[in-house]
Each structure stands twice: as structure tokens, then as C-alpha cells.
Amino acid sequence: MRLSRDVEVTTKLYTELLKSAQELRVAKASSVSNVQIIDPALTSNEAVKPRKAQILLIALLAGLFIAILSAFLRRALELSVYDPNQIEARLGIPVFVTLPNSKAQSRLKRLKKKSGNDVSLLAAIQPADPAVEGLRSLRSTLNHALTHFHR
């Protein structure tokens, strides 16, 4: 019983292999193409050198183009406001004051991170800092605007 099953399996395998071989022969025979060699390839007698100057110039121009393009894209996609007039024009609200970025405040933040101690206010440490002066100007402008509003 087992031998007859082995013979049957082996016979099926052999038949499949013959069928596959015949299909490959047909595929090989049908793949004959009508390609002809018109001109044989010629070899050059001179050595071929890379054009270093041309490659360098193209790379330089491509790098410059990509840098300028990325700068324009970055500026176009950036949501920052650089001019207070943009806010007034788009939103229709007045800008009372612009506050500059304080380098002293940045130093205080770094000092706080390093030491872990609670650092005092910028106004207490450096009262003449432009950011502190801007806050004072904002306070004065708001006081002035509120007095005119209540009249």
C-alpha cells in the first residue's frame, strides 16, 4: 500500500517536471526575437577623463538653487509675524507694543536649568533690559488707552 502511494506520488512529480520542462522549451522557442546588430560597438583609443570642472560647477549651481529654494519655502511656510503692521492689517486690531527677545532672560533660564534654583524675575535683576522697558511701555499704553476708554 505504501509503495504504491510512493510510486503514485513520484509519477505525479515526474509528470509535472516533464510538463514544466516542455513549457520552458516552448517559452524559449517563442522568445526568439528579430533583433539584429546594425553597427558593432566601437572602443575609443583615447582615455576618457571625468570633467571635474563641469561636474563641480553643476554641483555648485544645484546646491545654490536648492539652498535658495529651501529658504523661500521655509519663509513661505513659516507662521511667524515680523511686522506689527501685518497684525493690524489682517486682524484690524491695534498693536500697542512689541517686546524684544531678552538675552538676559535666556541666560536666566539656562541658569535655572543648571542650578535647579528658582531664579528671580528679570525686572528685579536687570531693570534696564529692553524687554522690561517694553513691558513698562505696555503698562503705560494700556493705562492711557483705558483712561480714554472710560471717558
69 assigned to some structural domain: no
How many domains in the chain? 1
Calpha distance 114→61 (Å, rounded): 45
Q: Per-residue DSSP letters for the chain? A: -HHHHHHHHHHHHHHHHHHHHHHHHHHHHHT------SS-----SSPP---HHHHHHHHHHHHHHHHHHHHHHHHHH------HHHHHHHH-------PPPPHHHHHHHHHHHHH-SPPPPHHHH-TT-HHHHHHHHHHHHHHHHHHHHH-
Model pLDDT, residue 32: 64
109 assigned to some structural domain: yes
pTM for the structure as a whole: 0.42
Average pLDDT over residues 56-62: 97
57 assigned to some structural domain: no
Give the structural domain span for 132.
Answer: 96-151
Q: Which span out of 60-69, 88-97, 102-111, 131-140 was modeled with the highest average pLDDT?
A: 60-69
Read off the pLDDT of residues 67-105 as tens digits, 9 standing for 90 and up. Answer: 999 999 998 898 888 888 888 888 888 888 888 888 888
Average pLDDT over residues 30-55: 82
Model pLDDT, residue 97: 86
120 assigned to some structural domain: yes
Q: What are phi and psi of 38, to 5 degrees?
A: -85, -55
pLDDT band at 44 (very low <50, low <70, confident <90, very high): confident
Please check the confidence at residue 16 and state whether its pLDDT lies above 70. Answer: yes
118 assigned to some structural domain: yes
Mean pLDDT lowest among 37-41, 43-47, 53-57, 117-121? 117-121
pLDDT band at 64 (very low <50, low <70, confident <90, very high): very high
Which of 29 and 104 is assigned the larger pLDDT? Answer: 104
